Amino acid sequence: MPSDPVLTLAGISKSFPGVRALSDVGFSLYPGQVTALIGENGAGKSTIVKTLTGIYLPDEGSLTVGQEAKHFSSPRDAWAAGIAAIHQETVMFDELTVAENIFTGHMPGGTLIDWAEARRRTAALLKRIDADFKPETKLKRLSVAQQHMVEIARALSHEAKVIIMDEPTAALSSHEIQELFRIVDQLKAEGHAILFISHKFDEIFRVSDRWVCLRDGEKVGEGLTRDVREPDLVRLMVGRPVDQIFPKRALTIGETVLEVEGLSNATEFEDIGFTLRRREILGFYGLVGAGRSEVMQCLFGMSRPTRGRVTLEGRPFVAKAPADAIAAGIAYVPEDRQHQGAVLPLGIRENTTLASLGAHVRYGFLSRNSERAATRMLGTRLAVKAAHWEQRLGELSGGNQQKVVIAKWLATKPKVVILDEPTKGIDVGSKAAVHDFIGELAEDGLAVILVSSELPEVMGLADRIIVMHEGQMVTAVTRGGPGWSAEAIVAAATGADHQAVAA
């Protein structure tokens, strides 16, 4: 056990109107150790991060860095004390270069900007973490994984003692996640203290040495990762044991709703064909980048196919824009909910009913009561945690914002709903609630397309699974039929099984 902590929080409390986000929380971070901070959506994890980085001032409590008591009244103070963070929502500048993003605010040479020096140092930092892009590249040209690497380089530029990562893997492919873990191991070996936030247990067990668990703003446990097992952590987080896989509902699948034939576009996918029936859950599995989201966006009218035919309830269907798809009864819950779905300054009710206002008009007027009833029903079913239903979306935790965007699309009472990675960033207990709700929607007659990179999720919910690899369908398997096994599905998704085309 390393002796002295790098950073210690003690008795930290923080309240917002109507919610006590943190209550008397204390723990320490140690050099060369990764501490996982775990807890449900809204437990207070990001609030801890914002307190440690000077974005929020705690109402009570103390912070010690090394031997010194610290008071952060701005992000600059935290930065000066050697604390750097990769936030849940990125806070960098798209239009600036990598070097500019790294050195903005603390240029070599004081106030005078020595760009040659900044670029040279950036190149050295990028080399240190094996990054394969240039200091002059604009941030917007980089993938999310590469942007994380810029944030890590930024932390290293200042020799940060503490590096905080708030759900850094949420938008990464499995290969990129491995790459991130390699860097985390390296930072550990160099003696940095790391605080790592994730909802995925395999990541927590892979990467952390210690864990701290929050529930409703209070610390409910901490310990060494090697001494704990997943079910124990789940019970601590949620306050009860959770059945992570619901028994699949036995439903009689109905008539065909959607038929897709030979759908192609110029670069991302080719010759996609399938049928979708009422009460059916059709899974789309594949690695990140396999083209699944692009197919769905095309069906939803966000892009035009170069070839192919779509039939909805027996009639040819062309979506020139999402409005056409919505009018025809197709809803799409996008993967990138922060950018494509949530209106942060509006309230939960307004966000929930945004795409279905027509359903709440009574005698020519918008009925608040009707809106409220729909919001309450969906919010409760999806386990949205909020002080009240009028609360601004921007005040909710990341995971709870995502649940509201799902509610918004379900409120349109669609015939076909396309869910793109619906449980990304959602905690283990809420995930079970979302899964149960998807099953119930199918039971009510909805046809569901479920795009997911999580095999247990697709295998637990879907009746059939289409596997995509590099823009093509490589196989389709039916629950209980030949090829319905985790090994076969993963093999197909990685392209190992290219011969087994279409069932």
Ligand X SMILES: Nc1ncnc2c1ncn2[C@@H]1O[C@H](COP(=O)(O)OP(=O)(O)OP(=O)(O)O)[C@@H](O)[C@H]1O
Number of residues that this document lists for the chain: 503
Place of tokens 């019970």: 235
Closest CA to 36 of 240, 179, 188: 188
Stretch touching ligand X by CB under 6 A, among 26-34, 43-51, 112-120, 275-283 = 43-51
Closest CA to 322 of 338, 340, 335, 307: 340
Stretch touching Mg ion by CB under 5 A, among 57-65, 86-94, 347-355, 413-421 = 86-94
Tell me how far, at minimum, the Cβ of 212 lies from ligand X, in Å: 12
Tell me how far, at minimum, the Cβ of 37 lies from ligand X, in Å: 8
Strands 19-29, 7-16: pairing is antiparallel
Tell me how far, at minimum, the Cβ of 263 lies from Mg ion, in Å: 37
Strand order of the β-sheet with 162-166 is 83-86, 162-166, 193-197, 34-38, 210-215, 218-224
- Asked if 192 is part of the footprint of ligand X (rule: CB under 6 A), the reply reads no
Whole-number Å distance between alpha carbons of 427 and 234:
10
CA-CA distances (angstroms) from residue 114 to 99, 104, 118?
A: 11, 11, 6
Which of 114, 395, 454, 470 is in the footprint of ligand X by CB under 6 A? 395
Structure token digits, residue 206: 């892979």
Residue 225 DSSP one-character state: G
Tell me how far, at minimum, the Cβ of 214 lies from Mg ion, in Å: 11
Where are the extended beta strands (E) located within 87-242?
Answer: 162-166, 193-197, 210-215, 218-224
Which of 25, 43, 281, 416 is in the footprint of ligand X by CB under 6 A? 43
Is there a contact between 460 and 245 (Cβ–Cβ < 8 Å)? Answer: yes
Q: Which partner from the list Mg ion, ligand X, none does 431 bind, CB cut-off 5 to 8 Å by kind?
A: none
Tell me how far, at minimum, the Cβ of 489 lies from Mg ion, in Å: 31
Stretch touching ligand X by CB under 6 A, among 267-275, 320-328, 372-380, 390-398 = 390-398
Stretch touching ligand X by CB under 6 A, among 26-34, 36-44, 251-259, 461-469 = 36-44
CA-CA distances (angstroms) from residue 211 to 12, 167, 194, 196, 225?
A: 18, 15, 11, 9, 6
Site string for ligand X, 52-91 (x = CB under 6 A): ------------------------------------x---
- Asked if 399 is part of the footprint of ligand X (rule: CB under 6 A), the reply reads yes
Stretch touching Mg ion by CB under 5 A, among 19-27, 45-53, 92-100, 198-206 = 45-53
Which of 131, 396, 441, 446 is in the footprint of ligand X by CB under 6 A? 396
Distance separating the N- and C-terminal Cα atoms of the chain: 55
Mapped onto helix, strand or coil, the DSSP state of residue 464 is strand
Which of 398, 414, 422, 460 is in the footprint of ligand X by CB under 6 A? 398
Which of 23, 28, 35, 41 is in the footprint of ligand X by CB under 6 A? 41
Name which of 198 and 472 has its Cβ closer to Mg ion. Answer: 198
Name which of 12 and 416 has its Cβ closer to ligand X. Answer: 12
Shortest Cβ contact with ligand X: which residue?
399
Binding to ligand X, residues 88-107 (CB under 6 A): 88
Whole-number Å distance between alpha carbons of 400 and 150:
27
Q: Which positions lie near Mg ion, rule CB under 5 A? A: 45-46, 88, 397-398
